[in-house]
Amino acid sequence: MTAMATPRPTPAPAAPARWRDPDRPAPCRLTVNGTDVVLEVPPRRTLADGLRDGGWTGVRLGCEHGVCGSCTVLLDDAPVRSCLMLAVQAEGRSVRTVEGLAGAAGLSPLQRAFHRAGAVQCGFCTPGFLMQATALLEREPDAAPERVRERLSANVCRCSGGTAALAAVRDAQRELGGGAR
Amino acid sequence: MKPPAFAYTRARSVPEALSLLAEAGEEAKLLAGGQSLLPLLALRLARPSHLVDIGGIADLDRPLLDHTGLTLPALVTHAALERHPGLAGPWAALGQCAGQIGHYPIRVRGTFGGSCSHGDPAAELPVVAVAMDARFVLRSSAGDRTVPAEEFFLSPFVTALEPTEMLVAAHFPAHEGRVASGFAEFAARAGDFATASVAVALTRDEQDRVRHVRIALGSVGPVPLRARAAEHELTGRALDETAIAAGARAATDGVEGRDGADLVPVLLARALRRLNERSGDHAA
């Protein structure tokens, strides 16, 4: 057998760096409004910004420190402040934004109720209120008015103070067959 | 503002988290629910060099109730605590307190361990932990040590945690006899931090007299404070209106003049009356 030069061992692939670079975008896989998506985000990008980068601009940036609720989205059907989450924390999870509320039949009952009640003035806070109310009525369709008020107090409406939103939720409850007697 | 830059990694287990903390150094922080940390990052009041994300570690999010008492692992969310069916009777103060933390979306993400590790003097859970004499389990790569709640909170936002340690659980010991607890707070707006808060944990004898009582006050000092004069006033007495009034008057001993202190007597009386109203003190 002819002598062969010992083949150079191929270098092992570099082990993935344990610490992610603060500013380098990396794929973050999650589900948004029922569709699997990949966001390219650096670790310090909030979920709010990551979703907005991906086109879901219904997610609003109000205070960006967790006080106003205009960034509210549903994470596995529970309301969260997306400005208080890093996008990477949502990896593998299911997120719902206002863009996912309307369906083949048109606007959701809550959306229609907000419209009827005049609960949309400038509209900036509306997606946050809708997501908060959607989560509540899905979990507690018979929520008493005090419960609705308590939950919606998590959201700030600078135009109207939110009273029309409360009325809209009660109205939607009735239409959905729920609501406290 | 947007969060400052930090190196990020995810820990899949507590040992891994501890080793990462040790590797990253003193400017590293653990990230659980992020409801205390993310606002600090957004306002750039904190600039950790590294974040170790422990939010995905399994089996740290369920309360455990047994004959020794209640154990809350670090990742129990406030929302889970609020709706936990087993938190009646002796543990009622925890459920009552959890439901008043911030707003619901914050409670969905915020964790017991995160809130206590953060050590905000206006936070609710530390007050209940002190009243109920919780024992905090601090873990590092070198092992575990247990610190009573009263010794864990040192000053505003400063706890007994070393940079390489993680608060993994708190144990609330069971007590013999007829145990009850209660919590009351006042906040100017829904969701605000408490202007003042009171947590009470007590045991009563067969004649309904208070055998032992611990009262902790929140938001009126750098850390949760024991209202020892009020405790002394109530010990040995049945909780009738006279006793409640006497306890309430004594509750501001040591915190007079502080912001929110004038609310303390009202809150203590409220917590004690609710405790009386609730049917079923549960024997331990």
CA dihedral sign, ordered B111, B112, B113, B119: positive
Kindly state the helix (H) or strand (E) to which residue B143 belongs, with its residue range. Answer: strand B143-148
Quickly count: other Cβ atoms within 10 Å of residue B185's Cβ: 26
A162's tokens: 């939110």
Q: Which pLDDT score, from 0 to 100, does residue A5 have?
A: 59
Cβ contacts of residue A103 below 8 Å, gap of 6+?
none
Q: How far is B184 from chain A (nearest CA, A)?
A: 17
Q: How many residues does chain B have?
A: 284
CB within 8 Å: A81 and B1: no
Backbone angles phi, psi at B107, to 5 degrees: -70, -25
Residues 95-124 of A with CB under 8 A from B: none
Question: Is A85 in the B-facing interface, judged by CB distances under 8 Å?
Answer: yes
CB within 8 Å: A84 and B34: yes
**Cα B213 → chain centroid:** 17
As a three-state string, the secondary structure of A147-162 is HHHHHHCCCCCCCCCC
Question: Is residue B261 within 8 Å of residue B171, measured between CB atoms?
Answer: no
| Residue % of chain A over a pLDDT of 90 | 84
**Residue numbers in A near B36 (CB within 8 A):** none
CB within 8 Å: B2 and A132: no
| Ramachandran category for residue B143: left, alpha or beta (phi over 0 → left; psi -120 to 50 → alpha) | left
Kindly state the helix (H) or strand (E) to which residue B218 belongs, with its residue range. Answer: strand B210-218
Question: Chain A residue closest to B40 (CA)?
Answer: A65
Q: Which pLDDT score, from 0 to 100, does residue A15 have?
A: 53
DSSP chain A: ----PPPPPPPPPPPPPSSB-TT--EEEEEEETTEEEEEEE-TT-BHHHHHHHTT-TTS--SSSSSSS-TTEEEETTEEEEGGGSBGGGGTT-EEE-GGGT-BTTBS-HHHHHHHHTT--SS-SSHHHHHHHHHHHHHH-TT--HHHHHHHHTTS--TTTTTHHHHHHHHHHHHHTT-S--
Q: How far is A44 from chain B (nearest CA, A)?
A: 6
CB within 8 Å: B43 and A43: no
pLDDT tens string for chain A (181 positions)? 445 556 665 555 555 568 998 889 999 999 999 999 999 999 999 999 999 999 999 999 999 999 999 999 999 999 999 999 999 999 999 999 999 999 999 999 999 999 999 999 999 999 999 999 999 999 999 999 999 999 999 999 999 888 999 999 999 999 998 765 4
Closest residue to A80, CB basis, from B4, B42, B105: B105
Residues 41-70 of A with CB under 8 A from B: 43-46, 49, 64-66, 69
CB within 8 Å: A65 and B39: yes
Strand bridging mode B166-173 / B225-226 = unpaired
- Our CA angle for B114, B118, B124, nearest 5°, is 80
Q: Which residue's structure tokens are 């009020």?
A: B230
Q: How many residues does chain A have?
A: 181
Q: Which pLDDT score, from 0 to 100, does residue B62 have?
A: 95
Which pTM value belongs to this model?
A: 0.93
Closest residue to A80, CB basis, from B31, B50, B108: B108
Q: Which residue's structure tokens are 């004069």?
A: B229
Best mutation site among A24, A44, A47, A138 for testing chain B: the one with the most B CBs within 10 Å?
A44
Q: Which has the closest alpha carbon to B92: B131, B47, B140? A: B131
Q: Which residue's structure tokens are 């996008």?
A: A87
CB within 8 Å: B106 and A84: yes
**Residue numbers in A near B4 (CB within 8 A):** 44
Eight-state DSSP code of residue B183: E
**Residue numbers in B near A79 (CB within 8 A):** 104-105, 108
CB within 8 Å: B8 and A88: yes
Q: Which pLDDT score, from 0 to 100, does residue B167 have?
A: 98
Q: Cα–Cα distance between B242 and B250 in angstroms, integer?
A: 12
Q: Cα–Cα distance between B245 and B236 in angstroms, integer?
A: 15
Question: Is B109 in the A-facing interface, judged by CB distances under 8 Å?
Answer: yes
pLDDT tens string for chain B (284 positions)? 899 999 999 999 999 999 999 999 999 999 999 999 999 999 999 999 999 999 999 999 999 999 999 999 999 999 999 999 888 889 999 999 999 999 999 999 999 999 999 999 999 999 999 999 999 999 999 999 999 999 999 999 999 999 999 999 999 999 988 999 999 999 999 888 899 999 999 999 999 999 999 999 999 999 999 999 999 999 999 999 999 999 999 999 999 999 999 999 999 999 999 998 874 444 33
CA atoms within 13 A on the CB side of B196: 22
- Our CA angle for B173, B177, B180, nearest 5°, is 70
Question: Chain B residue closest to A83 (CA)?
Answer: B38
Please report, for residues A84, A121, B24, B103, B111, the alpha-carbon distance to residue B51 in angstroms, rounded to integers and kept in the order given.
15, 40, 9, 25, 16
Question: Chain A residue closest to B21 (CA)?
Answer: A19
Q: Cα–Cα distance between B140 and B138 in angstroms, integer?
A: 7
Write down the mean pLDDT value for chain A: 92
